[in-house]
Each structure stands twice: as C-alpha cells, then as structure tokens.
Structure 1
Amino acid sequence: MSDSLHVVCPHCHKTNRIARDQLGDSANCGSCHQPLLTGEPVNLDAVSFPKHIGRSQLPVVVDFWAPWCGPCRMMAPAYAQAAQALQTRAQFAKLDTEAHPETAAPFGIRSIPTMAVFREGVELGRISGALPSGEIVRWVESLI
C-alpha cells in the first residue's frame, strides 16, 4: 500500500495527493487551501460526481436522494453523523437525483434513499432505505 493517496477536495473538486499519516491532521487543498476532510457530506452535481467517485482513493459514500423524499430528509442528520464518525476513513457525498437524473441514471437507482460506496470508480456496495447513524457506520466499515 502506498504512503500517499489521492483525495478530491470537497470545495474546489481538485485532486490532491496526501500522505496517509496526515489524514487526521487537517490537511488542506493545494489549490483552494480549504480543509480536505470536513466530516460533512459534500453536495455533488453532474461535473463533480465523476471526479469524486473516479479519482478519490479514499472511499466515497454517496447518498442518492431527492428533496421531496421524506425518508431521505429523515436520514440526513444520521448521514451527517456517520460522515463525522468516519471523517478520516471515507468521504461522504450527496447526489440530488431530481436535480441530476442523468448522473444517477447509469447506476440504476430504483428507490431512494440509496447509499453506495465507491473507491476509484468501482462500486463496493449499495444499500437502500433510511438507516440510523450507527448502522450507516457499520455498513460502510464492512465495505472499506
């Protein structure tokens, strides 16, 4: 395993190389100088989605959701808590399937919320339905 890995900035979406042992040391983006690991879900769109799931060597957990979805809104705080708990082990992101249907379509999302974990463009697993924070953390840990 390499001593460094690529992490996509949640602010400017540029790819950064960071030493593994610096993941917990509040590393900043070389381009925009903002923190690389915020512990908060990143809102993705059609342009930033492929950058994050394709380039990040840190696992990326994507919540496919829509604003009108009650279970999606209900799960949002738990998803944010899981993002905080796994801050140095995975990046958490959200993709609004209503605003960006063309981005979600290739993944065959049939129900929302659906979460999927990606590493360097490869889907490691997926689960549908609203989950509490602890179950999200356990599920992600089982895949990474």
Structure 2
Amino acid sequence: MSEQSMHLVCPHCQATNRVPSARLSAKPNCGKCGQELLSATPQELTAQTVNKVIQKNEVLTIVDFWASWCQPCIMMAPQFKEAAGQLPEVVFAKLQTDKHEQAAAPYNIRSLPTMVAFKGGKEIARQSGALPSHQIVQWVQSLSS
C-alpha cells in the first residue's frame, strides 16, 4: 500500500509540493525554495495567491477575511496569530477584503471578521465574529475530528 501524500502550497514561492501525510509534523520544506511549508504564522494572501492557496492545499486551511477599517478584525489579528502557532499542521492565512475586493467576492463574505475553513479546495465551515485564540483553536480542532 502506498503512503498517503498531500499537496501543500509554499507560502513563500507558491510552488505546490507533494508531502507524505506522515511527514506533516516534521516541518517539511519546499522543494523549490527550501523554506518551511507549514509556518506558525498566518500568511498574507493577495489577489494572485488566494485561489491557489485555497484550491491546491489539501490540508485544513483557515482563511481570515478581514478589513483594515474593522475594529473587531484588528482586535482578533493577534488571537488568530496565536491560534496559528498552536496548530502547526493547519495552514492559517489572511485576506484583506478592502484591499482585495475582487479576490474576496466569490466567497460571499457578509460580515467581518469571518474565518472560512477549506479542505481540498472546498469550504467546509465558516465562523463570523472576533474570537479569542482558545475558541479559534477549539473551532479548528472540531473540524479535524
């Protein structure tokens, strides 16, 4: 039986990497640029990177849709970053909706902040409103079980 592998998009160079599932916890590096594929810090998405990160990552990917004028978004940012540090095998990313309106439009975001969970390019859950890090971690863990 062959070992299960997953696709991971490098947050640095956007190369798609095939990683054996068993190696996800071993901090795999990108085959193209050599940098870490799973970072403990949320990656900033742009209009150019959002679709690839959502569509190509086969691991659980949590995207925080936020805006610079949104006070709850600003308050939640350090909480989201803290949650990312606690769940190293999950991809955490942020998309600034007021800067990348066209990129955010297909996701039908109606309130900010909104976290959307994707797996294999498909939305599996969403959560609106600012949450403390422990609740973000609980929500993400509930999606993995």
The AA in structure 2 aligned to 1:97 is: T
Segments of 5+ residues of structure 1 without an aligned counterpart are: none
Runs of at least 4 residues of structure 1 off by over 6 A? none
Identity %: 49
Letter in 2 for 1:96: Q
TM-score (structure 2 length as normaliser): 0.94
Shift of 1:118: 0.4
Residue in 1 that maps onto 2:15 = 14
1:42-101 CA-partner distances (Å, limit 9, x unpaired): 00011111111101110110000011111111001110111111111x100000001110
For structure 2, list consecutive stretches of 5 or more residues without a partner in the other structure. none
Give the alignment's Cα RMSD to 1 decimal. 1.2
Equivalent residue for 1:129?
Answer: 129
Measured in 1, the distance between the counterparts of 2:3 and 2:143 equals 20
Alignment-mate amino acid for residue 74 of structure 1? M
In structure 2, how many angstroms separate the alpha carbons of the residues matched to 1:40 and 1:6?
A: 19
Q: 2:113 is matched by which residue type in structure 1? A: P
Return the alpha-carbon distance in structure 2 between the equivalents of residues 128 and 67 of structure 1: 16
1:5-64 deviation per Cα after TM superposition (whole angstroms, max 9, x unaligned): 111111111110111121122211011111111111000011111111101110110000
**What is the CA-CA distance between 1:2 and the residue it aligns to?**
5.3
Aligned to 1:109: 109
In the alignment, the residues of structure 1 paired with residue 33 and residue 78 of structure 2 have an alpha-carbon distance, to the nearest angstrom, of 27
Determine whether 1:67 maps to 2:50: no
Please report the TM-score for the alignment, with normalisation by the length of structure 1: 0.95
Partner of 1:5: 6
Q: How many residues are treated as equivalent by the alignment?
A: 143
* Aligned residues of 2:28 and 2:36 also touching (Cα < 8 A): yes
